[in-house]
Structure formats: C-alpha cells, structure tokens
Structure 1
Amino acid sequence: MKQWGEPPFEPELAPEAVLGQMEMAVIVCDRFSNIIHINAFAKKLFGFAGSEYIGQSVLSLGIAEEDHEQATELARHVLKGGVWEGTFCNLREDGSTIYTRAQAVPLRHPSGAIDGVAILAREALRSNQREQDRYGLLDRIGTRLAGSLELEVTLRAVADTLVPQFADHVFIDLASSDKLMRRISRHTGDWTPPPGTWPEVDEQVAYPPDHHAAKAMSRRDAVLVDLTTGLDDELGLTSMISAPLVARGQVLGVMSLGLSHLGRRTDPHYDGFDRDLVGAIAGRVALSIDNALLFEEERQTALAFQRHLLPGERPPRLDGLQIAWRYEPAKPLESHGHGIQTQVGGDWYDVIPLSAGRVGIVIGDVEGRGARAAAVMGQLRAALRAFAQDDKSPADIMRKLDEWVRTMSPADAPRPSLVSCTYFVYDAWSRELTFSNAGHSPPMLVLDGRVGELDFHSAAGAMLGVRSPGLGGDIIYNEATVTLPPGSTLVLYTDGLVERRPKDDGTYYSSEQSRLLIEEAVGRVSRSDVETVANTVFAAVPGDIDDDVALVVIRTASEELPVEERTFPSEPIMVSEARRLAAETFAAWGLHEDEAEMACLLVSEIVTNVVLHATNVPAQKRALVGAPELSFDEDDWDLGSASLGLGRPDPVKQEFRLRLRKGVGSLWVEVFDPDLRLPRIRNAGETDEGGRGLYLVDQIAARWGSRPTPDGKAVWFELPLA
C-alpha cells in the first residue's frame, strides 16, 4: 500500500499505448484540420485501415457531405478556445453508414496558444428499434429538405415530417432585423393552443436568458429540458428540445420540439439520444433555410429587376385601343424532378406610342432564366423602343433587333441568346395591323365571340439570334398587314401560359390542350372588358405555371375615329386651301376656337414647307451618248406637247396629302409627299425670309417628326386637346 510521502506513481505505459487501448476514437488535428494522430479504435470505428490518413483533412474520415459545414464550424469554434459536441454521419469504406457522437477540445501549447484540436468519438446509434426509427426520420428530413428552395415550403416540410411522428409541437423562430419572429407553429391533431399561450406565426418572440431556447442559441448546441414539474405542465407539455439553427457561422434562429400528453405516447419524454438527433436535424434544417434565404434573395432581386424593366402596372391611354397586361413569375418548384430554378425569366412586353397616334406593340421571350435573362430583356426592350421611334417597318425593326442580339452576346458565349418576338404596329383610324414575327407563338384573335388564331404565315421568321449559314448569317424577316374589324380582341402571350406544371394528382395538360382550354374560356367572356379577359386567360389552365408568363390583351374600338383626308397639287395657292379644309374640319369636330386657330397655323407652316421644298420630280435623264438610235414613225410622235419642250415630256406634277385625326386627348396632323428628303430645323438669320416654319412647329406642338413611307415621307405633329 502506497504511504504518504512516497514518490508519485510512475506509469509504465507510454501515452501512445494508452490511446491505443482506449475503446473510444481519438483523432488529433493541427490548426488546419489535418490529422496528425489517430488511434486504433478510430480506424475500427470509421472502417479504415493503415495510417494513410495521417496528414489528410479530417473530412477524409468519411464525414457525409451534408455535415461538412458542421465539421468546419466545429474547427472554427474550438480554435477559438471553445468545446464542441455533436453528431456526425460517417460513410465507411465498405459503403455502410455509421453515426458518431463527437466531442472536440482545444490542444494548447505551454505558452497558452492553441496548436490543434483533439476529437473524441463513439458510435451514437444503439441497437434498438426506436433509435433506428429516429435515424430513418433523419433520412426523411433530408429528402424533404432537398425538394425545395422556397423558405415557406422548407419550413412546412420540416413541421410535417416531425409532427406527429417525433413531436407533438414544433416551433421554428427565425431572426429578422435583430428580432426573433415565429415562422412555424405546428401541433399534433387538431389541437389549437389557447389564445395567449404562445406567440402566433409572424409575431415577435422574446426569450429570457434562462429559457432553454435562449440557452440553445447562446451555447450553439441542443438543450433538453424536462417540463413535468414546470409551469408548462398545465398545457400538457412533458419534454422539450431546443436546437440552434446555425449556418455559415451565423445563428439563424432556433427550432423547438415538444412532447405532451396530447400525443398519447407510452413515454412522452425525450432523452439524450433524441437531443443529439434533434441537433443533427437542426444542422440540416439550418443549411436548407440558409439556402432558401439566399435563393429568395436572388429571386426577389431578379424579380424586382424584371418588374422594373417592364412597363408600369397601368397601360397607357391610347386612342382606339383597350389594353390589359399581366406579368407573372413562376413559383419555385417543390419536387417534380425538374430541378430548382429562380423562375424569373426574360418574358417581356411593351406598348410604344408612335407618330400620328399609331401604336407599337411587342411581346417576346428571352431564352433562359434568372438575372441575366432579365438583363438581356431590359436591353432588348430599350433597343426596340429606340428603333421604333424611327418609324421603321416591323420587318426592318426585326432585322435590326436580330443584328443587335448577335452583337451584344458575350464573346466567349457558345452562341447568342435566342429571343422569340413579335412586333405589331396598329393604326386605330385605318384599323390596319402590320406585324413581323421572329419565332413567337401567334396570338389568339377573337371576333364576334369566336376564338381563332391570327395568321402568321406570311410574316414568319426565325428567332432573333439564330444564324443561317446558307444565307451568310442573315435572316429574312417578312411582314404582313391585316385590317381588324371593330371590337376585335387579340390575346398575345408567351409560352409559359400554356406550358403548365403537372398537378399533384398527376394530371398534365399539353400546350395544345392548354390552348383549347383558354380558347373555350375566352369564348365565354369575349364580350367582357379586357381586364376580365386577361384574368380569365391566366386562370383557364389548372396547375402552377412552369415558366414566367407575359400576357397582353388588346381590343379595337367599336366606333370609327374622326379622320379627314384630301390630296392637293403642290402649288403655293394650295396652302390656303389646305388651311381652309383644316379650319372647317376642326369646327365640325367641335374644337375650341384657340385650339383650332393654333392647329391651323401649324398646318400652314407644314404645308408651306412641303410646297417650297418638295419640288417637282426632275426630268428623266437623256439616253447615254453612243446609245443606238431609236426608229419610230412620225405618226407615233405626239408633237403637241413634245414640240413645246424640245421633244421632252412635261415634268410630273407633285401632290401632297393632308390627313387630320382627332383622338380623345390629342389632335394629329400629317402631310404626305413623294420627296424622300426628311425635313430638319435650321437656324434662320435676322434677314432671312424663311427657315422659321419648322422652328415654330417645334416650339408649339407637343411632338412632331417625320418618317419614311413607301412612296416618300410623312411630316406630322401632335397638339394636346383640353
């Protein structure tokens, strides 16, 4: 027997021998989480042989990928001087899975600095059916969490899996702007907490420092409490576990699970194993929540970007047209085997006021989804608006857009972005609709309650950005013109409207079936207002949309719009005749005297400019010198006129056409002539007799401009009406 004062007992075994005999895994890592020592039991526990893992990362011991974040957090916490404990899933070399309970402590140098980490681990799973079921629950949680990146769907999936199998009550509280807000409150059966028992969903939660949920967040570890003798016993609670939701080193909130007498369980109490399991579940839930929050942030950014680039909520007021439009992003997928996407795409639409009350209408779809597709859409919309202001024909605009789509693509892109698009120009006074198409679906055309399809045959073209090797890279775009009867309705849409996600019962509608459902629904409401038609079109097909949707409904006026038009010879005396026509027309339309006088003044200036500068067409050039002489009979030559002009025909007399249009809030005046030269404002000197006409128009009119026409040009101006 050892006596007092005797020298201390000296062990005969070296530390390595002691570690080698321990029935617990011991892993020693340096500050960089590289293994520098592993004992024999660790090799047995993790199913590895030899010392090939020395110098390798601790992750090489088979820690499951979903626990890598937890392992990183372990190292970070311990290297700061803390102690960490938790459960890991490990994959052994033979393919089997083992769950281990690990505790990590810092290793300190004699100077006090932390040199590394020591990890002690043992098997966490005991061989009884109850705990086997618990780990089956962990697998199901992982499967449910993998199905969605939408936060609300993620939280509901967790609650649905835990109640009632593992808990009678589940609460999930998430941090929001330095506050803790309740996001989930789920209870077994149909039980509802009495009012004032616990905070409701979307209410702020405040835990005192000694509360088990507050302790879980401060300790960053699961906390188990027995409530049998506590105050909550009045509500039937018997046991609770609170686990922090930690991701990327940040505490996102806390998850609390409770048992009570409501569950009618044989043993309504949690134990230490359950606490460890909830800690592991919380780690997975936290990672899914973090991913969902990041996804939601990206989605909201892309959606805000998309909505900012699209026109406002209210369509503009336009003469002879009723317009309704919709944009709806697809909801994130839950689990349909499609993969997870941000769902915000490049669908777009626009309505562009053009000269003389005409309107440009466009709808299109940029290939792809996310912020890049939205950015391409925004650039494309801006480019089309700029091109449209030149009053080019729809086919010309399509060619310019196609070139623009090709040149704006990144140099390293395998191919340009592909864009489907249709551009329409509608004249409400003539009811003519001119359009050109680039690979987009034809709109529905509703006439007298019958739903059909606008004929796109003669205006069909390839999608923007598609190169054609046989044509040297150029695509030919054609256009067509149709006259729409009064009260016609056009339904323009992108393919997301008819491409729907299968319903939960497996019902799936093809694009053709979806279109038939829409046509039937539109036929029933064809005489309703355009807003009702738009709502009906969007709701006609069951199921969630699988892609974002752009929808535009336009209807032509049922009544004729006021218009007056006459052609005059290009002679100075015709200026007063044109002004007289304008004065009589404006009086018949009931214009205010001041408005009519101002309009007549500008009509005189525009017509005078045409008469002075749109001169007669020059005489045809003589035949080239050396050309063969022409033979003719004297009887075939008309000497009556030829002799006066030395054998030359009289010059062709020019004409101009004056067109007056009245809308609800504007008066439009157009003057057409065959001269191809477009007018421009010039600075007239003090002694100049002319040069001030267009300057006067520019100063008085709300807008003015000129545009090419197939046989010349048109000069126009707009005056607002009171």
Structure 2
Amino acid sequence: MTRRRDTHVDALLPPKTVLDAMEMAVIVCDRYGNVIYTNPFTETLLGFGGPEYIGRSWLSLGVAEEDHEQAKDLARRVLRGAVWEGTFCNVRADGSTVYTRAYAVPLRHPSGSVEGLVIFGREALRSNQRDQDRYGLLERIGERLAGSLELQQTLRRVADTLVPQFADHCFIDLFSGDQLVRRVSRHAGDWTPPPGTWREIGDTVEYPPGHFCAKAMTRRDAVLVDNVVSDRMKAPTPASKRLGEEVGVTSIIAAPLLARGELLGVMSLALSGVTVRPDPHYDGFDRDLMGAIASRVALAIDNAMLFEEERETALAFQKQLLPGDRPPPLDGLEIAWRYEPARPLESHGQGIQTQVGGDWYDVIPLSAGRVGLVIGDVEGRGARAAAVMGQLRAALRAFAQDDKPPADILLKLDEWVRTMSTPVQYANGATPNGQETPLVSVTYFVYDAWSRHLSFANAGHQPPLLVLDGEVGELEASGRGAMLGVRQPGVGGDIRYEEETRELPPGSTLVLYTDGLIERRPKEDGDHHSREQARELLYQAVRKAARGDVESIANAAFEAVPGDIDDDVAIVVVRTSPTRLHVEERRFPAEPIMVSEARRLAAETFADWGMLDEQSELACLLVSEVVTNVVLHAANTPAPRREFVLEGALGLDGPGGFDDPWELPDLSRREPVTKEFTLRLRRGEKAVWVEVLDKDMRLPRIRSAGETDEGGRGLYLVDQLAARWGSRPTSDGKAVWFEISLKS
C-alpha cells in the first residue's frame, strides 16, 4: 500500500520547467522516504523513474542492496536538518551498474519544519581513465591489506599503493598514548624533505586548531583542500609551510583513521610539483574515495595492532617460561642458545595468528656437577602450545632431579603428557572424538664433564650435529623413539626409548636445534629448499664457523638457511672443555678403619686444589659422615651365582631311580665377603663435589635421632652444612653426594 501524496508538499516544489531542464537527477521524498517527484533525468541516469514510481520508496530506484544501510543513515541525518553527501551504487533496469554522487538536503515548510528530503544525483564514475584508476586503487588497497598482520608491513603497503599513483606525498600519524607519532612519510620519486621541515618517522606531531588534519580528526570525516594557494592553510611550523610552498603543494586530503569507533590517527595525502600531472588537484570524489580507503586502512591497522599486542603478550609469556638470555656458567662446558619466534604469515583470509610456538630448551644442574640438557618442540602454535611447553619444562626439571637415566625420564614424561588429555593420539594421527593429545618431540642429554660421558634418549626429535676437528656430522644413534603423546596401535600401547652413551672428545661441539631452523618459508622470488638441501646448508655454515666460539656457531646456524622463519627456532650450542677437569677417585674396602683413610685422601686432595682451610675442614668432616654411613650400611657384593646340579638325580635305572651317588657342591664353603665403596672428589670453578658410591641399592634418608641415640645424625649434619646434597641410583648400587661452595 502506497502512502497518499501530500498536496502541501507540492507547493514547496520549484517550477517543474526548471527541474525538467536540469541534467542532474532530482528526487523529492516525503518524511517516510516515499517518492513524490522525479525529474526526467532521473530515469536517464538511474534507469528508473517516472509517474509509476510516485508513492514508492526511493530505494526502488535501483539503490544496491549493500547501500541500503547508508540510505537509512542519509534519511536519519537529513530529517534532523543536516545535509548529507556520499556515493551510491545503483543497478539499472538493464542490469548495468552506475555509481552516483548524491547530495541530500532537507525539504522545509515555511514554518521551518522538515517535511521531506531532496536528493540530487550525478554520475560519479565518468568514462575516463582517471576515474577507472580511482576504483582500481580502492580494489588494490583491499587486496594488499587482506593478508597483512604486521603494523609496519601494513603501513608500508598503504604508502606503496598510494604513492605515486594517487599522491605525491603520504603521511600517516598514529596515536601512542595521547601523542600523535609519525609512522609513514613517503614521497614520489627520490625526493625527500630537508631536515627540520616536515616531521620525520618517529617524531611527535602537533597540529594547530584549524589545520586540515585537526579538522579531519575533530569532524571524524575526510577534509579536502582542493586549492592550497587560495586556501589560508595552517601548518604545524613555519618551516613546514615554507617547504610546502617551495615544492608547490596544490591540493590535500586528510582522513581520520577510525576503527571500531576509536580514533587511531590521521592519514593525509598531497599533490605537488614533485611530479607532473594533467590535473594536480583533488575533487569531492577523491575525498570520498580517500574516506573509503582510510576506513579499510584503519581496520587493517587495528588488526595489526591487535595482532602485535597478542604476539607481544605471548612472547612475554613464553620468555618467562624459557631460560634467561644467557646460559648459567657451567664447569667443563661453553653454552650459547638462541630462540626466535616465527614471523607473521602473509596470509590470505587466514585471520590473525600468533606465531609463538612450543619450542623449548633448558640446562638443568644435576648431582655432582653433572648437567641435563634438553631441547624439544610442542606441535602447534599460539598460547596453548606455549602453555604446554611451560608445563613440560617444569615437569622435566622435576623428573630430572631423580637422577634417573634419560630413557626413564622420557618414559615418565610421556606418561605425564598423555594425562594432559583423555583421548590418545595414535601414530597415524587419529584421535577419538576429535580431541587431541599434545605431540612433543624432545631429546634429553646428561653430560658428565669430568668423565666426558654423554648419555641421551630421543623422542622423535632430529639428532643434533656433532662437530669434531672441524668436521660436521650427526650424533649417531640407533634410532629415534616415538614422540611424546603417541601410542602406536597394535603394540599394546608400550612406548620404549633407547638410551645411548658416547664419550665426547675434548673441544667437541654439539649443535641442538628444532625443525624451524631448516623449514623456512621462501621470501618473495626466493628459492625453496627441501629439507635435505636445508640440512646441507646448515652443515656448511656450521663447518665454516666451527673454529669460532659457541655464539658464532649459533649465529651461523641461524643464518644458514635463507627465507623467513615459518616456525619457532631454538638453537643450543654446547662445547666441551679442551682440558681435563680436576677429579680424584679411589676405591676402599668398606671397613671402619677406611673412614680415616678416606678423610686423609680428601684432605690431601683439597690441599692440592688450594682450598681454604675452613672449607677443607668442613668438606673433610662431611666426607667422614657420609663414608661412615656407607661403611655401616653398605651391602655385600652379590656372590656369583652357581648352578645347583644333581647329576643322575632324575635317572630311573636303579631302584627308586637313584643309582648314581649325588654330587653336591660343598655347602659349607662361603664366598669371601667383599664390601667396598668408591670415593670420588670433583673440583669446579665455584664448588667442590664429593661422591661416595657403593653396591647398596637402598637410598639413604634423614631420620630423627633421640637424645640417647649414638648415631643417626650424620646425614642431618650433611643436610645442614652442605650447599646441596642428595643420592641417586646407579647401574649397580647408589651414589651419595654433597656440594661445598668455594669462597674466594
């Protein structure tokens, strides 16, 4: 049902002869948006019009559906007495498209009340190359910003697209707190502004009131200065105004950068004599186009800023979970490490992705100066991978304090990983109910710098590089175990890790790394390298840097493979000492008289090492306590097993089946009792370690001694006086150890 035409509105219309002669569409509507008049040019321009549209909504004149919301905004503003200007997309009756530049004003009654609205329209896209280039520019801006996630990259792409095609000068200023900071200053050709004139990148900018940029931010709308010469344009400084006059700035557009209702900054473009153009002036259509571009740029900047904020949060989170920037000082080892998060993807429609991952590494002090080394990788990216990594690092540190073999530590860690999610991840990638268990590759090493023994176990991680005498190869191993969190179907769910042992020669170097080091994303126009090719490049780089220090090797390894980092990269370079560390070791019978002998050996050794008398006496006292505990409780060495044979016992030749006499061993003879222990003394740069090893599997514990008890206080003294102490199982018994800090 159409609304009845108001006759008193007709009285407000100008003579029809004037409207009919105009080469501009004129559409008059009542307060409800219904058409009460269209001039003949309306049908020429839009393809719709005439008496049959009277009473219909003006949207029926071919306004594209995507512009209906804009049309509602037009009506709201004009009916409140404002003037509206903008561009519409109209679909003609024949299906062709025309862009119309519309101006809408209120239709007022002599009393002043708004009775309707009048819309004037002309074709916005004329058939010339300049206008076609303008719309092509908007399309290219959208395409180039679609996959941009880094702020600086986003700003660079905007400037590259606008200069020099649409502008000779491009400036982008963004708020940092309450201050505007210049982030882009791009100019056509090779021209650059002299120092001290226009603000440079990183400078703060203050626009005076009335400046076109200040107006754009205040009005939150694009501002056009179509003719700078005739316009009394204000400038931030006299020097900047003089430079504008010298280069011949002719026309300027400034547009606010608005995203999600927040003002991020301002973007301004200028034409000048730097380049020769047929028309060195902007017009109203350029202003509207600039407004549309600014909206897209602002959204891309906002997304990039959100990405950087999320990325920085994740990086800070991961940095707190990883070791510090520098490795701790360790006896017999030089260590350098490096961690680099992945660079943002230049994705297309993939959304914002935080490239922090689950790579981790660690150095764990163990008993008697030994060191645990670990490098690993949690599959996936983002905060979840970093959180899993943090839990793994803490769990491994806790498990490592048991001083069990690396294979046992990985098995225990695998069991712990599988408790992080109820479903089980199988080797073929299947997961019940679509849930996932974290998959983790990790290698755990234990190194004894005094014996140079390295023991390790691998859970699906790539083997480290071993550098010996300038030659590079892999640390040989019998194979990789399954990744943590994987349970292979058909094997009963059992996961086993093989332990390997090597003796590292003096001055040998290990290069531990995660797969992000060799799996790089090619740069634009760059060659793609297969995994084998990347590994060969890594070998060559490490070989060239092998004579340098560990930091040089780490840097060479990181730079070995060209391309952007597509996944986190962790590198740990470990070099063994070229000289032998101080160690003294002797085996004693486990007899009470040997306590004084062990103490004498310790005193002589400590004196040779130059320990202070106070430190030496304390260490000797604790040696006596630990050795006494071993002598009292050490178990016998198990006697060799002997077969108990009854020759002919099962014969059935004689009565009862026992014709041959029994040949029994002499059960009255006993093997000699062999009780012994080993005292091992180690000196480091800042500490001395004492180890007492015996054949007893039972680990000692501190017990509370009563007032009348003669013993039970030895380990209590060790606990109170030593810097650290503990015990660990060995392959044939246990080791009790303590640490004394050296004071200079």
TM-score range, shorter chain: 0.7 to 0.9
Instruction: Specify the SS of the correspondent of 2:229.
Output: coil
Question: Compared with structure 1, are the counterparts of its residues 120 and 623 closer, same or farther at alpha carbon in structure 2 (3 Å cutoff)?
Answer: farther
* 1:278 is aligned to 2:299: no
The one-character-per-residue Cα deviations of 1:424-471 (angstroms, maximum 9, x if unpaired) are 00111111111111111111110001000011324x211111122223
What per-residue deviation string (whole Å, max 9, x for no partner) do you get for residues 171-221 of structure 1? Answer: 001111011111001111111112222211111111122111111111111
- Indicate if the aligned counterparts of 2:29 and 2:118 stay in contact, CA closer than 8 A: no
Aligned partners of 2:146 and 2:349 also within 8 Å: no
Deviations 1:330-380 (A, max 9, x none): 221336998863221111100001001110000011111111111111111
Counterparts in 2 of 1:697-712, with a 5 A limit? 697-712=718-733
Give how far 1:249 is off.
Answer: 0.5
Q: Secondary structure at the match of 2:487?
A: coil
Displacement after TM superposition at 1:513 (Å): 1.3
Greater displacement, 176-185 / 628-637: 628-637
Of 54, 60, 63, the residue aligned with 1:46 is 63
**Does the CA-based 8 Å contact 1:153-1:334 persist in structure 2?**
no
Offset from partner CA, 1:258-295 (integer Å, 9 cap, x none): 00111111221000010010011001001100100001
Q: CA RMSD in A?
A: 3.7
Instruction: State the SS of the aligned residue for 2:565.
Output: coil
- In structure 2, the residue matched to 1:416 is 437
Is the partner of 2:144 in helix, strand or coil? helix
Residue 330 of structure 1 pairs with residue 342 of structure 2: yes
TM-score, normalised via structure 1 length? 0.85
Alpha-carbon distance between aligned partners in 2 of 1:416 and 1:91, rounded to the nearest angstrom: 54
Q: Is the Cα contact below 8 Å between 2:185 and 2:201 reproduced in 1?
A: yes
CA contact (8 A) 1:451 1:522 kept: yes
Q: Which amino acid aligns with 1:186?
A: R
Q: Identify the residue that residue 62 of structure 1 maps to in structure 2.
A: 66
Question: Do the aligned partners of 1:150 and 1:295 also contact (CA within 8 Å) in 2?
Answer: yes
Q: Give the match for residue 403 of structure 2.
A: 391
1:448 aligned to 2:469? yes
Q: What is the CA distance between 1:677 and its match in structure 2? A: 1.5
Contact 2:247 2:274 in 1 (8 A): no
CA distances 1:77-110 after superposition (whole Å, capped 9, x unpaired): 9999987654567899999766565679999xxx
Deviation at 1:542, TM superposition (A): 2.0
2:260 counterpart (248, 255, 266): 248
Question: What SS does structure 2 have at the residue aligned with 1:470?
Answer: coil
SS in 2 for 1:131: helix
Aligned counterpart in structure 1 of residue 248 of structure 2, from 236, 260, 263: 236
Give the partner amino acid of 1:593: D
Establish whether residue 353 from structure 1 lines up as the match of residue 373 from structure 2. Answer: no
Are 1:224 and 1:270, in contact at CA under 8 Å, matched by a contact in 2? yes
Structure 1 pair 72–499 and aligned structure 2 pair: CA distance change class (3 A): farther
**Partner of residue 580, structure 1:** 600
SS at match of 2:344: coil
Counterpart check, 1:189 vs 2:209: no
Shift in alpha-carbon separation, 1:392–1:633, aligned structure 2, 3 A: same
Cα distance 1:123–1:382, how it changes in 2: closer, same or farther (>3 A)?
farther
CA contact 1:243–1:278 (8 Å) conserved in 2: yes
Unmatched 5+ stretches in structure 1: 1-6, 27-36, 48-60, 108-113, 643-648
Residue 413 of structure 1, CA deviation: 6.2
TM-score by length of 2: 0.83
Letter in 1 for 2:131: E
Q: Is the 8 A contact 1:188 1:263 kept in 2?
A: yes
User: Which residue is equivalent to 2:571?
Assistant: 551
- Taking the aligned partners of 1:380 and 1:484, their CA distance within structure 2 comes to 28
1:562 aligns with one of 563, 572, 582: 582
Which residue of structure 2 lines up, in the alignment, with residue 227 of structure 1? Answer: 228
User: Is contact 1:429-1:560 (8 Å) kept?
Assistant: yes
Question: Is residue 534 of structure 1 aligned with residue 538 of structure 2?
Answer: no
Is 1:86–1:279's contact at 8 Å kept on the other side of the alignment? no
Asked if residue 295 in structure 1 is aligned to residue 307 in structure 2, the reply is: yes
How far the C-alpha of 1:409 sits from its partner, in A, is: 3.0
SS of 1:564 mapped into structure 2: strand
CA distance in 2, matches of 1:701, 1:447: 38
For 1:685, which of 690, 706, 725 is the aligned residue?
706
- Determine if contact 2:99/2:124 at 8 Å carries over to the other structure: yes
Q: Which amino acid aligns with 2:259?
A: A
Q: 1:262 to 1:562 in 2, by over 3 A?
A: same
1:611 alignment partner in structure 2? 631
User: Contact 1:62 / 1:91 at 8 angstroms: preserved in 2?
Assistant: no
Moved more, 165-174 or 525-534: 525-534
Alignment of 1:458-477 (within 5 A): 458=479, 460-477=480-497
CA contact (8 A) 2:649 2:662 kept: no
Q: Which of 258, 268, 291 is 2:270 aligned to?
A: 258
CA drift at 1:517: 1.4
Q: Give the Cα separation in 1 of the matches to 2:76 and 2:685.
A: 71
1:153–1:11 distance in 2 versus 1, CA, 3 Å: closer
Aligned residues: 672
- TM-aligned CA distance change 1:103 to 1:678, over 3 Å: farther
Which secondary structure does the structure 1 equivalent of 2:372 belong to?
A: strand
Name the CA shift for 1:579/1:106 in 2 (closer, same or farther; >3 Å): farther
Matches of 1:495 and 1:364 in 2, distance apart? Answer: 10
Note if contact 2:420-2:438 (Cα within 8 Å) is conserved in structure 1: no
Post-superposition Cα deviations, 1:2-29, rounded to whole Å, max 9, x if no partner, equal xxxxx99869999476347474999xxx
* CA distance, structure 2, for counterparts of residue 81 and residue 354 of structure 1: 80
Q: Which amino acid aligns with 2:412?
A: K
Maintained 8 Å contact 1:618/1:651: no
> In the alignment, which residue of structure 1 is the partner of 2:25?
none
CA distance in 1 between partners of 2:287 and 2:453 (Å): 74
Please say if residues 173 and 184 of structure 1, whose CA atoms lie closer than 8 Å, have aligned partners that are also in contact.
Answer: yes
